[in-house]
Amino acid sequence: MVTASLDATFAALSDPTRRAILARLAEGEATVSELVAPFQLSQPAISKHLKVLEKAGLITRGRDAQRRPCRIEARPLAEANAWLEGYRKIWEANFDRLDALRPAGRAETRAPVIRRSMR
């Protein structure tokens, strides 16, 4: 179900540490120990974050001899982007309607600057 998938994706993305892990994995695969290095968190704490990301489908963990590299998965992010895209179109249409209401010749309306005398 798409709603459950989106809920899991946005729940996983709600944490800044998990977003930072995804940003690192966007550069290429990494092991858990490589992911622990930039954070002031223990390996078990990072592993818990990885489990949340894995459950949401945002990462996968492979097996390469004794290494277990983590990789980012594009599908859940693409689904979230597609969902957000619908709302972006709505907001752009709203802004276009607001622009149409703006008087001609006035590209921008700004509040007047009030200057106070220094007496």
Cα Rg of the chain, angstroms:
23
User: CB neighbours (10 Å) of residue 91?
Assistant: 9
Query: pTM for the complete prediction?
Result: 0.74
The continuous run of DSSP H or E covering 72 comes out as strand 70-72
Alpha-carbon gap, residue 2 to 82, rounded angstroms: 11
pLDDT at residue 57, as a whole number:
96
Position 20 in a domain: yes
Rounded CA separation 28/78 (Å) = 18
How far is it, in rounded angstroms, from Cα 25 to Cα 55? 16
Residue 61 domain-assigned?
yes
Residue 35 within any structural domain of the chain? yes
- Averages of pLDDT over runs of 10 residues in the chain (119 residues) are 87 96 96 92 94 96 85 94 90 87 66 54
Would 81 be classed as within a structural domain? no
Give the total number of structural domains in the chain. 1
Is the residue at 6 inside a domain? yes
The boundaries of the domain holding residue 56 are 2-75
Q: What is the CATH number of the domain that holds 54?
A: 1.10.10.10
DSSP per position, 75-95: HHHHHHHHHHHHHHHHHHHHH
Q: Evaluate whether residue 85 is within a structural domain.
A: no
Asked if residue 99 belongs to a domain, the reply is no
- Residue 40 belongs to some domain of the structure: yes
* Tokens standing for residue 107: 């590209």
What pLDDT does residue 119 have?
43
pLDDT at 109: 54
